[in-house]
Amino acid sequence: MSGLLKFITCGSVDDGKSTLIGHILYDSKLLYADQEKALELESKAGSRGGKLDYSLLLDGLMAEHEQGITIDVAYRYFTTEKRSFIVADTPGHEEYTRNMAVGASFADLAVILTDAAKGVLVQTRRHARICHLMGIKHFIFAVNKMDIIDYSEKRFQEITAQINELVGQIGLENVDIIPLSATEGDNVTVKSLNMPWYKGDALLPALENVDAEDNIEDSGFYMPVQRVCRPDRTFRGFQGQCEGGQLYTGDTVTVLPSGETADVKSIHTAGAKTDNAAAGQALTIELSKEIDVSRGCVITKDIKAVITKSITSDILWMDDEPLLLDHEYIFQLGSGSTIAVIKEINYKTDVNTGNELTASVLHKNELASCTIALSDRITAAEFTAYPVLGSFILVDRLSNMTSACGVIRKARQVTDDDYSFVSGNTKISATLFDEYYYNMGDMKIDTAQKDYKTFTIGDVLPLKGRTYNYPKETDIVAFAEKAVIRVRNGKIIDFVPFAQYSFDVQYNAPLIDSRGFAINVNDQAELDKFRAEYADGKNQAAFWNKWLDCTKWRHILFNDNFWMI
Amino acid sequence: MLSHLDKLEAEAIYIIREVAAVCEKPVMLYSIGKDSSVMLHLALKAFYPEKPPFPFLHIDTTWKFHDMIAFRDRVAKEHGITMLKYTNKDGVARGINPFDHGSSYTDIMKTQALKQALKKYQFTAAFGGGRRDEEKSRAKERIFSFRNEAQVWDPKNQRPEMWKLYNPRIKKGESMRVFPISNWTEKDIWQYIKRENIEIVPLYFAKVRPVIKRDGMIIMVDDDRLKLRPDEKIINEKVRFRTLGCYPLTGGFASEADTLDKIIAETLQAVTSERASRAIDKDSIGSMERRKREGYF
């Protein structure tokens, strides 16, 4: 009945997380003989006077052996008669909180250890909050080291009260509290005779019986597109994983963010054709007609997602470098990515009290609510409704470090004001009027946006700025929206679908993209070639390097302090 | 509800597709072992009806079992995939061999060869079949595992990997190692091989083979480069292999398991974990982590 359970163990340092898991593996005869032998050997060399040190089974890195602590999350695999488990054993030190969060993002259930002598500590609270942030819905608080306090029921009740207070503060559901001793084995795999007053299950049976399966089948269907599969001219399939709901051949689906619809012509699940697909499966979907679908799009049926450029989210900052307001980060959500700027830290959370504090900067391991602006429209949703459309990471553009992770609490639907060009149903986002500055402060290129204005047919465009100078006759290609804006004598005269667009021989109008980069297309033949290569889905760096010239109409100005402009 | 194996399969396919979509020049390492057979199978499924949009790479130490090389060439041909082969020519010229050079043999013919090959072809991402249940330091490695310019892994400073949001970003010269079957166990591998009817090298099945016993290991006599010591003689025993590598370094063991069902049954009640039969891992505690930091897979 119960499938695979992924869980984590967390809690403060020295609360005995690795020892607990080591003991479960040892007790359940889940170790191979050579592992057991290595354990005995290493224990002898260790600090615990020759007694079996179960944590040695998990702390695999040499640095961890030396320091006697867990630095990074370790994954262990074991199977009992009732169930298969993957356990992520996570570090307790505050320094390594982000590695603990990695484990939490992976788990369905958290076992949070508390030292019976010390009670609920700051780190216990921090971990409980992070587990909640990452979407864990099932919690077991393991009150460990009961042997040290002589298995006192009174002390256990005191800690239970502390835990319940924390649980109420964060709003956790599905909470169990178990008194145990990881070193002595009380209430670990079997019920302890030392605590007859405790009526619940031991830890392992509790893990074996919990139902932590998410009901993602009941959701609407959605699949972020990872890639386009084009083995030949006759087949064009969209590949990704079904993140919720079900899909049948013949269903009508909506592709976001464009909103175009089509029918499902065929479905393949991992190599075989099928008539229906279920949540969790790897799919290849063929649609009934040619519509624009590429990586980052989401194929949907009956879901409530929004197209957004502005989100409110709870984030965990994980980088050694602090979070800077108005600094640009790469934003990854689902299969899409864009540029994000943190516009405001609404508050940061005191992990101990839960109080909301004002802040203008965030440091490593801090939790905060932020308002984030995105440079392109993305398909998103609240994390609790559609986890995959509601969770993201921020990546530093210079170091490539994964700087933060976050979940969306609110996403604001874009309106026409958020677009640069609008005509009828065609809405186009463009950055060709952004100025490019080389920022002498942090030695990188920044972009500055003009005050927002939406242009439509008949409008005169500001074709000359400080760092750009576009010709009066030009055709602006918006790839995401698959449309071309014709500009003649400085005015917008028409919006044309990219597929129907042909090269203007009369004006020889040069092509630029929506960023203002020149497209190296000088006649109809080159346009056809460009369009074919683009349609092939090979829109990677090599493709853009071949076809785009970033400096033909644009240049970069030096600036001492970009944000003072 | 998807089964345990279905979930593992979907996860691996997701990861393989991510790499193909976002990494500039990926390659799939192919060691000819059972995990590689599973990886190849997953890659074929992930892109169907397209062929995998990347080549496969075999690091040939010249000491692999002959059955393995024959299997590699046949499989590549059957599936119509590109199979690159790379050997450290300098190592061959210097006569580096597993008998005389011990662990420096592994470094020169495997680790250095792999680094040379990745550099030669300028691959930016390499899939490996590593599993977290194999060894303790592997249990801590990310699925998208960053390598710096010297192709070195820094276990103390791994990028956080949240949900399924893999960060593939690298600078020139840096690369990624990607492990799509990180979360599989040996048992999962065997059950999947059975379910999907995946072909594996016959050496995994028990058969009477010519072997010698040396330093507590059963070594198969695969060719005449194995020089017998005075007290050794070749005997015929029914043996099989749990892992496949270079024949002088890969110990077989006595087994009657000549079908997949018997292998699975044997695996379930195994008393020795997989890597114990590989000579190189026993050198010292932390030997795998050390070699990984140096660039070994």
User: Cβ distance B82 to B56 under 8 Å?
Assistant: yes
The pLDDT score that the predictor gives to residue A41 is: 53
So what's the pLDDT on residue A216? 65
Give every CB contact of residue A465 below 8 A, 6+ residues apart in sequence.
Answer: A433, A435, A450
User: Mind listing the pLDDT tens digit for each residue in A342-355?
Assistant: 989 999 999 888 88
Mean pLDDT score, A107-111: 93
B292: confidence class by pLDDT, cuts 50, 70, 90: low
Average pLDDT, chain A: 85
CA dist., res. A129 & res. B6, Å (int): 32
The Cα of A62 is separated from the nearest Cα of chain B by a number of Å equal to 6
- Count the neighbouring beta carbons within 10 Å of the beta carbon of residue A252: 12
Query: In the predicted model, what is the mean pLDDT of residues B96-123?
Result: 86
pLDDT for A107 equals: 92
- CB of B274 closer than 8 Å to CB of B243: yes
Query: Which whole number is the average pLDDT over A538-550?
Result: 81
Tokens of B248: 């002088």
The pLDDT-based confidence of A112 (bands split at 50, 70, 90) is very high
Interval A214-247: pLDDT, tens: 666 678 899 999 999 988 888 999 999 999 999 9
Contacts of A239 in chain B (CB under 8 A): 17, 46-47
Residues in chain A within 8 Å Cβ distance of B273: 32-35
CB-based contact A280 B10, cutoff 8 Å: yes
B187 and A134 within 8 Å at the Cβ level: the answer is no
Tokens matching residue A56 = 């040695």
| Mean pLDDT across B196-211 | 92
Which has the closest alpha carbon to B218: B208, B296, A375, B195?
B208
Indicate the pLDDT class of residue B215, thresholds 50, 70 and 90: confident
- Give the residue from A339, A356, A338, A360 showing the smallest Cα distance to A348: A356
Could you count the other beta carbons within 10 Å of the beta carbon of residue A524?
A: 12
Q: What are phi and psi of A458, to 5 degrees?
A: 100, -20
8 Å CB contact of B45 and A271 = yes
Q: pLDDT tens, A462-511?
A: 899 889 999 999 999 998 788 999 999 999 999 999 889 999 888 889 99
Decide if A270 and B44 are in contact by the 8 Å CB cutoff.
Answer: no
Q: What's the rounded mean pLDDT across residues A166-177?
A: 92
CB A494 within 8 A of CB A486: yes
Nearest to A401 among B14, B46, B159 (CB): B159
Selection from A290, A293, A280, A278 nearest residue A238 by Cα: A293
Q: A438-458, pLDDT tens digit by residue?
A: 877 667 777 777 666 788 899
Give A130-161 pLDDT, tens digit per residue.
999 999 999 999 999 999 999 999 999 999 99
Beta bridge partners of B254: B239
Residue among B40, B167, B181 with most chain A CBs within 10 A, to mutate: B167
Strand ranges (DSSP E) for B185-263? 207-214, 217-220, 235-240, 253-254
Type of residue found at A10: C
Angle between helices A153-170 and A122-133 (to 10 degrees): 40
Nearest in space to A449 (alpha carbons), one of A309, A352, A312, A548: A309
- Name the nearest CA neighbour of A406 among A371, A437, A433, A458: A371
B52 pLDDT exceeds 90? Answer: yes
**Helix/strand/coil for A163:** helix
Min Cα separation B195/chain A (Å): 14
User: Has the ipTM of the complex gone over 0.95?
Assistant: no
pLDDT over 50 at B196, yes or no: yes
pLDDT of residue A321: 92
Per-residue pLDDT averaged across B280-293, rounded? 50
**Mutate which: A59, A62, A133, vs B, most B CBs within 10 A:** A62
Q: For chain B, give the percent of residues with pLDDT over 70.
A: 89
| pLDDT above 80 (res A47) | no
- What integer pLDDT is reported at residue A213 of this predicted model? 75
Residue B283 above 50 pLDDT?
no
Q: Which residue of B has its CA nearest to A218?
A: B1
Q: pTM here?
A: 0.82
Q: How does residue A2 score in pLDDT terms, banded at 50, 70 and 90? A: low
* Cβ contact B273–A76 (<8 Å): no
Return the half-sphere exposure (C-beta side, CA atoms, 13 A cut-off) of residue B200. 29
Mean pLDDT of chain B, nearest integer: 85
Average of pLDDT values for A268-284? 89
Q: Collect all residues with Cβ–Cβ distance below 8 Å to A162 and sequence separation of at least 6.
A: A119, A120
Cβ contact B221:B210 at 8 Å: yes
d(CA A237, CA B49): 9
Most confident of A258-267, B149-158, B242-251: A258-267
Annotate A137-167 with b (16+ C-beta within 10 A) or e (fewer): ebbbbbbbbbbebebeeebbeebbebbeebb
pLDDT surpasses 90 at B75: yes
Contacts of B2 in chain A (CB under 8 A): 278-281
Mean of pLDDT values over A11-30: 75
| Among the partner residues A60, A102, A270, nearest to B136 by beta-carbon distance | A60
